[in-house]
Structure 1
């Protein structure tokens, strides 16, 4: 909190550079002058932070929410050095995927720095979607309507903070269409107000309707959708050695357990060997339980959203009620536990997993709970 500036006050840039060496490469990272005529990424980042601390949203925020806003602005382009690509023919500069990669990089950095889970994830969620208010009104790149974007995002983060970050991001650059984009951000705010989700989650008739809507079905958020009969499935998510198996023993005793680790053991595979066979074994087990409508637990790391989607899509296809339980522990706790386990998974392998670590979002299942142990 000590480095978070008061409203209207310039940060201590020298202290920030000393505390966060990962900022240094931003000075050496170029940007496309069509969108960033102000210069390199560090120049842009400083302008964004300076714009942010001058906004009314920042002045009105509590100290904790200023922490979130400030770090989201400071780290919003943290992955640009790693994602920069220069076209050898045209010289055009691009940083594809820098928002998603930046959220992961910020997560690892803030986790190792001991930032509380809720504040850390608020920062990371903002970084992940910090550009969405630029074009949501005109139609998102995924094809979602503006209403869908606003409704979905409100379940994941505070739209007041997202709009403030987007406004600061646009004010902290020099580009031809900045005024037009600022108008679009203002319209994004107004749409969120109309939807009743500016500063709070959008209300839905119930969680069944919410999941049907979020998964693209033609249902209205305000009218309850009939629930299909199916299994109730608890899906575990989290890094290895965060206590998933212990959680199952204490909370779900007697329920069938499906998982890749269990599948490996059943068919005699070491970690990382013939993952396809383990996956097919687990999926076949799950399908049998789903056909019978039985409750069960799916135990796996499910570390990235892409990997979770493979499991969740299967469960939703069978009409299951899906409740995700995310577990997390401090890094030294995880590494210490893993050293003591009878496993072929090394600590070095766990550390390599961090580059795809995406904490489960509230929009991914009927319910999501977080169990954090330090």
Structure 2
């Protein structure tokens, strides 16, 4: 990890220009924030860099007051500096309902999170810190939306994706770090959010569905782990969609799957991130639906994009055949965009499959270094486009999520049994 980051862990309080200087080689968008305007109605302090500097100052005070540990402090401070990074990619002018020109930055939190996904690993950060920063950046507008909803399911959905106390501190700093007429009311809303989270039992609770898991895994202890994962994680998704209310309903809805169910693994990562090597080693007995292989089969070469329509249609038919037969099948493609991976995932849900995203998250430099040595190298500009347009997955997209680093080691696993993080576990957890 870079000395600059180690100093923050130890209590240093660098200003925003120091972040630009220390991290700008990996995060060049930092330098663009000084030239990124904000709507004066909500950000009277000026450009995004000025705002980030004010938020950082507030964050240091809050972190010291709360006595955060080194990793939590580092994660919160990095999130404060980077929370609006996506504005450099999304800011534009548009007319509001009254016909007035306003500055807007639609989906900047999501864009910023995805921008960081393959760049933060370049800094030598531990993956738990990387994922904490990404969660804080990606969800920093969801606190208000959750309060507006007011439902327990909305609070639980947010709590299983991000550390709520850290998100609360980030939003307090974010609100204090701007000049706007609604600042006082926003701070009051944040306190109401905290009270709601405490009332629902999800404040400072990294596992808001622990009781569900204990009931489901206990009642279904005699069944295979994959079936328990399907019932438990499917139940959580159904609850958050408003379809059920209790863990016992989840058990009842999973009864039909006792006769058998398909399993679908979908890869997600840019070319050169190690997907094919991992699949060959760990999923040798899965049916494989590969868009590259289908292009080669239908057009004679993998790079021929003229047959993409036929390739996609054939891929869907082969996937449906495996799902109907209740087989284990994997969809091999980059799937870095949400709409692309949504195609196989929707089919998986339609056919009652246990769905898993295998997400490959190496440092950006590793992707570009590996690509030329591959048997089927992809042009560098294509890889760059995959990364720039990537939409890093959220836990709510599937039943199970497995994240792997540049050495194809699991660095995060959600929705499945324990993983030996020192290396791939014995046996097939998928």
Common fold by TM > 0.5:
yes
State how far apart, in whole Å, the 1-side matches of 2:174 and 2:324 are: 49
SS at match of 2:148: coil
Contact 1:242–1:327 (8 Å) recurs in 2: yes
Contact 1:44–1:172 (8 Å) recurs in 2: yes
| Number of the residue aligned with 2:48 | 41
Q: What are the ranges of 5 or more consecutive residues in structure 1 without an aligned counterpart? A: 140-144
Contact 2:120–2:363 (8 Å) recurs in 1: no
Contact 2:291–2:311 (8 Å) recurs in 1: yes
State how far apart, in whole Å, the 2-side matches of 1:130 and 1:58 are: 21
| Number of the residue aligned with 2:226 | none
| Number of the residue aligned with 1:209 | 235
The answer to whether the aligner puts 1:17 opposite 2:20 as a matched pair is yes
- Say if 1:193 and 1:309 are closer, same or farther in 2 by CA, change over 3 A: farther
Contact 2:52–2:177 (8 Å) recurs in 1: yes
The answer to whether the aligner puts 1:362 opposite 2:369 as a matched pair is no
1:217 deviation in Å?
4.5
State how far apart, in whole Å, the 2-side matches of 1:67 and 1:44 are: 19
State how far apart, in whole Å, the 1-side matches of 2:329 and 2:89 are: 41
Select the residue among 188, 193, 201 that pairs with 2:193: 188
1:340 deviation in Å?
2.1
| Number of the residue aligned with 1:75 | 82
State how far apart, in whole Å, the 1-side matches of 2:165 and 2:80 are: 14
Name the count of aligned residue pairs.
Answer: 367
Contact 2:16–2:49 (8 Å) recurs in 1: no
1:321 deviation in Å?
1.0
State how far apart, in whole Å, the 1-side matches of 2:59 and 2:309 are: 47
| Number of the residue aligned with 1:4 | 8
Contact 1:37–1:174 (8 Å) recurs in 2: yes
SS at match of 1:368: strand
Length-normalised TM-score, structure 2? 0.78
Select the residue among 109, 117, 123 that pairs with 1:107: 117
Q: What are the ranges of 5 or more consecutive residues in structure 2 without an aligned counterpart? A: 214-231, 408-430
State how far apart, in whole Å, the 2-side matches of 1:242 and 1:183 are: 45
| Number of the residue aligned with 1:218 | 243
| Number of the residue aligned with 1:270 | 302
State how far apart, in whole Å, the 1-side matches of 2:249 and 2:126 are: 36
- Say if 1:252 and 1:111 are closer, same or farther in 2 by CA, change over 3 A: same
Deviations 1:216-272 (A, max 9, x none): 241125434121422122222222222222222222223211121222222125333
Q: Cα RMSD over matched residues?
A: 2.4
Deviations 1:47-77 (A, max 9, x none): 1111111115874321111111011110111
State how far apart, in whole Å, the 1-side matches of 2:9 and 2:406 are: 30
State how far apart, in whole Å, the 2-side matches of 1:209 and 1:188 are: 25
Counterparts of 1:1-374 in structure 2 under 5 Å? Answer: 1-4=5-8, 10-21=13-24, 22-55=29-62, 59-87=66-94, 90-139=100-149, 146-199=151-204, 200-203=206-209, 204-205=212-213, 206-214=232-240, 216-225=241-250, 226-227=253-254, 228-229=256-257, 230-268=261-299, 269-271=301-303, 272-343=305-376, 345-374=378-407
1:273 deviation in Å?
3.5
Contact 1:270–1:344 (8 Å) recurs in 2: no
| Number of the residue aligned with 1:142 | none
